[in-house]
Copies of this chain bind each other. A is one copy, B any other.
Amino acid sequence: MNATLTTAASMTAALPSFEQIRDAAARIAPYAHITPVLRSAALDALSGAELHFKCENLQHGGAFKFRGACNAVWALTDAQAAHGVVTHSSGNHGNALALAAGTRGIAAHVVVPEGAVRAKVEAIERAGAILHRCAPTQAAREAMSAEVQRTTGAVLVHPYADTMVMAGQGTLALELLQQVAGLDALITPVGGGGLASGVAIAAHGINPALTLFGAEPQGADDAAQSLTRGTRVTTVVPDTICDGLRALIGEPNLDALITVSDAETIAAMQWLWSELKLVVEVSSATVLAAILQQRERFAGRRVGVVLTGGNVDLHALPW
């Protein structure tokens, strides 16, 4: 059994039920924002579709990750919570866990790989986390997390392979479907798969006919490869500017995956900034890139578009 397979197995977590997502929505309601849904006549014209952008860049910590982290933190018993929580994250989940831990007054340990976006690491520090640096590999992240668990007793809150985290992410779909009537499709970026899993269960729990699309960068297309081969591919070495989407997926569970190039993503990011007037991070732009790449699949449809985050280094824009 090689290291990659060991790692993949350790990432397995039970998918949440629709009820667990509803419970999560009630649990995080005192702490999370109900984020707005924005539209743009220009982007509707550009895409030929009716796009409803769910603005998780306006969530606490600037990303949807606060939902999952907050649900995981508040699902702990007092005894479990006493020693704090720990995670490994390229940025937004670490920040979210620190903020969520703050709402409960417990410690957050965050394992940060070298090379993570500077603005995100600074935000994690400002959010009050205790940082632990490691090499930028999945194995190194998990080893350091295990070390911190052993020495502090902190509970691991995995960035995506965690039932409570997936349930929390799913709450954004509950919210979106309450905010916009008659959606017939929904598209999210695909990274670790925790967002897509939670969103799929929540969305199909409300409307089983809704088509769920995932957008994935070409340089980290493990989900697309997995879907094509019918088995989980865990050997992809991520090579993309989408720093939020480099993690390998847990469970592919989408109706269709669309692979986009970094160039398409950067162009879409500029459209979102200039027309929607929103600062979104590059990973978030994959969804619009996918829609613009495959206009015929979205034309005339009422599409929910998940903008996952807005944590950007303004001094290192990709254009």
Which residues of A line the B interface, CB within 8 A? 36, 38, 41, 55, 57-58, 60, 62, 119, 270, 273-274, 277-280, 310, 312, 314-315, 317, 319
Complex Cα spacing A279 to B58, Å: 12
Q: Which residue on chain B has the smallest CB distance to residue A62?
A: B277
Q: Which residue on chain B has the smallest CB distance to residue A309?
A: B277
Question: Given A60-B41, A278-B277, A279-B277, does the pair A319, B315 have CB atoms closer than 8 Å?
Answer: yes
A272 smallest CB distance to B (angstroms): 9
Q: Which residues of B contact A36 (CB under 8 A)?
A: 36
Contact yes or no, B279 A274, CB < 8 A: yes
A313 smallest CB distance to B (angstroms): 9
Complex Cα spacing A41 to B123, Å: 13
Q: Which residues of B contact A317 (CB under 8 A)?
A: 314, 317
Q: Which residues of B contact A57 (CB under 8 A)?
A: 277
Q: Quick one: which of B41, B58, B314 contacts A273, CB cutoff 8 A?
A: B314
Complex Cα spacing A279 to B55, Å: 14
Contact yes or no, A274 B58, CB < 8 A: no
- Nearest 5 A-B pairs (CB), nearest first? A277-B310, A277-B279, A57-B277, A273-B279, A36-B36
Q: Quick one: which of B38, B60, B274, B280 contacts A119, CB cutoff 8 A?
A: B274
Contact yes or no, A277 B58, CB < 8 A: yes
Contact yes or no, B319 A270, CB < 8 A: no
Q: Which residues of B contact A312 (CB under 8 A)?
A: 273-274
The 11 sampled A-B contact pairs (Cβ below 8 Å) are A41-B60, A58-B277, A119-B274, A270-B314, A273-B279, A274-B279, A274-B312, A277-B280, A277-B310, A279-B279, A314-B317
Q: Which residues of B contact A55 (CB under 8 A)?
A: 277
Contact yes or no, A319 B314, CB < 8 A: yes
Complex Cα spacing A104 to B57, Å: 35
Contact yes or no, A274 B314, CB < 8 A: yes
Q: Which residues of B contact A310 (CB under 8 A)?
A: 277
Q: Which residues of B contact A273 (CB under 8 A)?
A: 279, 312, 314
Complex Cα spacing A100 to B277, Å: 20
A23 smallest CB distance to B (angstroms): 26
Complex Cα spacing A60 to B274, Å: 13
A87 smallest CB distance to B (angstroms): 21
Q: Which residue on chain B has the smallest CB distance to residue A310?
A: B277
Q: Which residues of B contact A315 (CB under 8 A)?
A: 319
Q: Which residue on chain B has the smallest CB distance to residue A41?
A: B60
Complex Cα spacing A119 to B271, Å: 13
